[in-house]
Amino acid sequence: MYKSFLIKYGEIAIKGKNRYLFEEALVSRIKYALREAEGEFRVRRLQGRIYVDALGEYDYDEVMDALSHVFGIVGICPVVLTEDKGFEALSQDVIDYMDRVYPDKNITFKVNARRARKNYPMNSMELNAALGEKILEAFPEIKVDVHQPDVLLCVEIREEINIYSLEVKGAGGMPVGTNGRAMLLLSGGIDSPVAGYMIAKRGVEVDAVYFHAPPYTSERAKQKVVDLAKIVAKYSGPIRLHVVNFTDIQLYIYEKCPHEELTIIMRRYMMKIAEYFARKNHCLGLITGESIGQVASQTMQSLAATNAVCTLPVYRPLIGFDKNEIIEISEKIGAYDTSILPFEDCCTIFVAKHPVTKPNIQVIEKSELKLSEKIEELVKTAIETTEVITAE
């Protein structure tokens, strides 16, 4: 029955002069998301509002699903738009609306009229009372409750008249594309896809790096990461996933350095390579799924040792989260079932029995001296042989 959706956006409405840019970005993200839904749509801005109009047949659930992935949207209201043909026509439209949306009339309601166009002959209070009365006349079982109504029926007199009462919660945040770009270190685990999602939610475009170690990690493990990138991309837009072959670097570190320092040293090389691709892709920061104390490589000392090789800011949106809180978001965004598939990731193969939990940066740097120039060669080769896959 709905031909249009009214898009409510919160935070971006307060951006003053930048508001225009934010709205443009939101419109373009909405158009992009709607590619997932069958049918033709028009997205338009009108008087500080955004509307999605279906131009023919479409699937309601598909549209809702597509729109629920767009950051910057606070609420999605399926809306009936009518022309102003006088009060009698309006009350008939409102009665039809209530009849169709609420087949069971054993409900309470309240009319919330707004007159954005001051030349309309009735004011909001008069409209509330008059429309309320018409509804009561049409449906004897229905009751008014001005405090806690089951249905808050919004009737807005604008260029077109907007009639709506349903609001589906949106993803919140800010439209992607309004806050630069960052490079996500994406592994096959639970945390990093959630970290990417959270930074994208603040309007940041995301690219990603995955370090794999064939034959120690399988093609299926890589496919899992591609699948996770696709899940994040439903929210963030296309992700250029850099798949770096890390095997030789890992084996060389394994050969030369103390095994208990392996994870930290590997992590430092991952960060360096990620930073190389970040700069190449005009990213303003790196993103990881780290959380303080979660594992040996994420103690405060370990994070400091890893961080020391980076010159770009490293964003760690999960830093203060417990695992169960991360899992909750992972489930919400539809990544969890993929994340828990049991494929080895490149770090689990080389983990030491007793990794250092309080690495000292000077000690680590000294161990790295054993790597000589050969490591630079290996890094160069890893960069040159990196495969870039667009996940969308």
Q: Which of residues 55-94 bind ligand ATP (CB under 6 A)?
A: none
User: Residue 244 Cβ, how far from ligand ATP at the closest point, in Å?
Assistant: 8
Nearer to ligand ATP by C-beta: 78 or 196?
196
Instruction: Look at residue 191 and give the partner it binds from Mg ion, ligand ATP, none, a contact being a CB closer than 5 to 8 Å depending on partner kind.
Output: ligand ATP
The residue number whose beta carbon is nearest to ligand ATP equals: 189
Q: Which of 207, 261, 275, 290 binds ligand ATP (CB under 6 A)?
A: 290
Nearer to ligand ATP by C-beta: 157 or 241?
241
- Window of 179-187, 230-238, 255-263, 363-371 that interacts with Mg ion by CB under 5 A: 179-187
Instruction: Look at residue 299 and give the partner it binds from ligand ATP, Mg ion, none, a contact being a CB closer than 5 to 8 Å depending on partner kind.
Output: none
Relative orientation angle of helices 374-384 and 247-256, to the nearest 10 degrees: 160
Nearer to ligand ATP by C-beta: 81 or 182?
182
Three-state secondary-structure class, residue 51: strand
Beta bridge partners of 53: 4, 42
φ, ψ of residue 386 to 5 degrees: the values are -65, 135
φ, ψ of residue 344 to 5 degrees: the values are -55, 140
Nearer to ligand ATP by C-beta: 226 or 295?
295
Q: Which of 189, 203, 285, 359 binds ligand ATP (CB under 6 A)?
A: 189
Residue 210 touches ligand ATP, criterion: CB under 6 A: yes
Q: Which of 12, 155, 174, 190 binds ligand ATP (CB under 6 A)?
A: 190
Residue 343: half-sphere exposure toward Cβ, Cα within 13 Å: 23
- The two three-digit tokens of residue 9, written as one number: 């956006």
Q: Which of residues 269-288 bind ligand ATP (CB under 6 A)?
A: 270, 288
- What is the rounded distance in angstroms from the CA atom of residue 380 to the CA atom of residue 382? 5
Q: Which of 4, 91, 187, 297 binds Mg ion (CB under 5 A)?
A: 187
Size of the site for ligand ATP (CB under 6 A): 21
Q: Which of residues 156-185 bind ligand ATP (CB under 6 A)?
A: 185
Contacts of 251 (CB under 8 A, 6+ apart): none
User: Residue 345 Cβ, how far from Mg ion at the closest point, in Å?
Assistant: 5
C-alpha closest to that of 261 among 377, 371, 380, 373: 371
Nearer to ligand ATP by C-beta: 178 or 297?
297
- What is the rounded distance in angstroms from the CA atom of residue 41 to the CA atom of residue 3? 10
The residue number whose beta carbon is nearest to Mg ion equals: 189
Residue 192 touches ligand ATP, criterion: CB under 6 A: yes
User: 241-265: string of b/e by CB count within 10 Å (b at 16+)?
Assistant: bbbbbbbbbbebbeebbeeebbbbb
Nearer to ligand ATP by C-beta: 162 or 297?
297
Q: Which of residues 302-361 bind ligand ATP (CB under 6 A)?
A: 345-347
Report the number of secondary-structure helices (H) and strands (E) in the chain. 14, 15
Residue 69: half-sphere exposure toward Cβ, Cα within 13 Å: 26
Residue 189 touches Mg ion, criterion: CB under 5 A: yes
- What is the rounded distance in angstroms from the CA atom of residue 306 to the CA atom of residue 264? 7
For residue 151, give Cα distances in angstroms to 122, 144, 204.
23, 9, 37
- What is the rounded distance in angstroms from the CA atom of residue 326 to the CA atom of residue 335? 11
Nearer to Mg ion by C-beta: 170 or 188?
188
Nearer to Mg ion by C-beta: 175 or 189?
189
Nearer to ligand ATP by C-beta: 91 or 247?
247
User: Residue 286 Cβ, how far from ligand ATP at the closest point, in Å?
Assistant: 9
Residue 282: half-sphere exposure toward Cβ, Cα within 13 Å: 4
Beta bridge partners of 113: 155
- The two three-digit tokens of residue 99, written as one number: 């009849």
Residue 297 touches ligand ATP, criterion: CB under 6 A: yes
Task: Measure the CA angle with vertex 47, ends 42 and 50; round to 5°.
Answer: 35
Residue 295 touches ligand ATP, criterion: CB under 6 A: yes
Q: Which residues bind Mg ion (CB under 5 A)?
A: 187, 189
Residues at the interface with ligand ATP (CB under 6 A): 185-187, 189-192, 209-211, 270, 288-290, 294-295, 297-298, 345-347
